[in-house]
Amino acid sequence: MAAAFPEIEKIRYEGPKSKNPLAFRWYNPDEVIEGKTMAEHLRFSVVYWHTFRGTGSDPFGPGTMLRPWDDGSESVENAIRRVKVAFEFIEKLGAPFYAFHDRDVAPEGATLRESHKNFDAVAKVLKDEQDRTGIKLLWGTANLFSNPRFMHGAATSSHADVFAYGAAQVKKCLEVTKALGGENYVFWGGREGYQNLLNTDLKRELDHLAKFFHMAVDYAKKIGFTGQFLIEPKPKEPTKHQYDSDAAACLNFLRSYDLLPYFKLNLETNHATLAGHTMMHELEYAGMQGALGSIDANTGDLLLGWDTDQFPTNLYLTTECMLAILKWGGMGAGGVNFDAKVRRESFEPIDLFYAHIGGMDAFARGLKIAAEMRADGEFTKFVKDRYSTWDSGIGAEIESGKATFETLEAYMLEKGEISPHKSGRQEMLENLFNRYF
């Protein structure tokens, strides 16, 4: 098979002065930061769905993408050809990981059995390509949202058959993910929610969702799949409301149904902002709850109200992400997964390279800046000082559990008023942040 990108050579690191749009200016995989290489910190992953299956369609028009290697058919042959193009792309790009949905890589068949068979056939080629290139699977997941059978939800469908169908699909996908050495398994519940409450039994649906996750945990144990389970929060779109709306909603659900030990979160920037949170908030929140698993690296447009899934290039964003990730000790088995798509108007194959190079460079630069900030320690010191009243005296008594409402009232009646406050210095800190750019 001829190369799909014959004119592109392996993308190389050329340093900040390079003007080559097909080179890295910041991502230098072997450069060591805080004792680990950039590659180890960032664990970049290319997504199969947007990058190899995205057509450029939107609600007002069909696809636009030029993909000469793809004949548009839903055949296994076409799927296998696509796998080879994908690995050529990922290898030339130099990303160590990829991620897929079952239905991205292999066509759905006329029956479940046929779908399983198709999936097996393509998985074999994925395995071969992984072995050939050393590229690894960051995570697998099952698409339980596209097919009309999932219109009312999958695990939360009003129709029990759909739960069963979803269970069968996840079972298979867990097996394949295990076979391919996948390091995580992700659930994104795009249709797990409701369009309106008038026809919905919310509690019954959530009870079902918990049952589904417990079955997944049980089955993973049974087959010895030791990858990390991840839930990916998103508040809405396609549904009016998705049950996994943000980090807090996911964690409350997991706690309610005794699932917390088995799951972490896969946080996405555009989903955070659709839920009204900054990505840094979601990272900090998940981090402090011990649930920071992985990230879907992209960006949205805060003036638009849907998931634009754009490639992340904003250096403030990537620096904030890396600050939070470094602070909470990294993402373990997770990675920086580009759940992002080229614009409908960026329809040429080379745009895929530009997009990924820009995203990787933006994260590499964010990592370097974050590490520099941490080495300087000015932010850390500021925060430490800001909370210093908690390190001794009344603060320490509260933290240690000695204080009660009565001892605190006595303390304050005696004192009459608090000792003076210090400024929060937001503007100074924002200026300091800019000093690193």
C-alpha gyration radius of the chain: 24
Q: With contact defined as beta carbons under 8 Å apart, do 378 and 334 qualify?
A: no
**Using the rule CB under 8 A, is 344 a contact of a copy of itself?**
yes
**Which of 53, 82, 208, 264 contacts a copy of itself by CB under 8 A?**
208
Tell me the residue type at 287: G
Residues 100-139 that bind a copy of itself (CB under 8 A): 111-113, 116
Site string for a copy of itself, 231-270 (x = CB under 8 A): ----xxxx-xx---xx-xx-xxx-xx--------------
- String marking each residue 248-277 x if it binds Co ion according to CB under 5 A: --------------------x-x-------
- Residues at the binding site are 232, 268, 271, 296, 307, 309, 339
H or E element: which one contains 427? Answer: helix 426-435
Could you say which of 8, 39, 179, 206 contacts a copy of itself (CB under 8 A)? 206
Assess 274 for contact with a copy of itself (CB under 8 A).
Answer: yes
Size (the chain), residues: 437
Selecting among 41, 50, 101, 356, the annotated active-site residue is: 101
Quote the CA–CA distance of 248 and 268 in Å, as a whole number: 14
Element (H, E) at 194: strand 193-194
Can you say which residues are annotated as belonging to the binding site for Mg(2+)? 232, 268, 271, 296, 307, 309, 339
For residues 235 and 246, give the distance between their C-alpha atoms in angstroms, rounded to a whole number. Answer: 6
Task: Please identify which residue in the block is written with the tokens 């690296």.
Answer: 297
Residues binding Co ion: number (CB under 5 A): 6
Count other Cβ atoms within 10 Å, centred on residue 2: 6
Of 46, 47, 355, 364, the one binding a copy of itself (CB under 8 A) is: 355
104 is catalytic: yes
Contact call for residues 194 and 202 (beta carbons, < 8 A): yes
Contact 272, 246 (CB under 8 A): yes
Number of chain residues interacting with a copy of itself (CB under 8 A): 155
DSSP string, 136-161: EEEEEE---SSSGGGTT-STT-SSHH
Nearer to a copy of itself, 245 or 294 (CB): 245
207 binds, among Co ion, a copy of itself, none (CB under 5 to 8 A by kind): a copy of itself
Residues binding Co ion (CB under 5 A): 268, 270, 296, 307, 309, 339
Q: Which residues are catalytic?
A: 101, 104
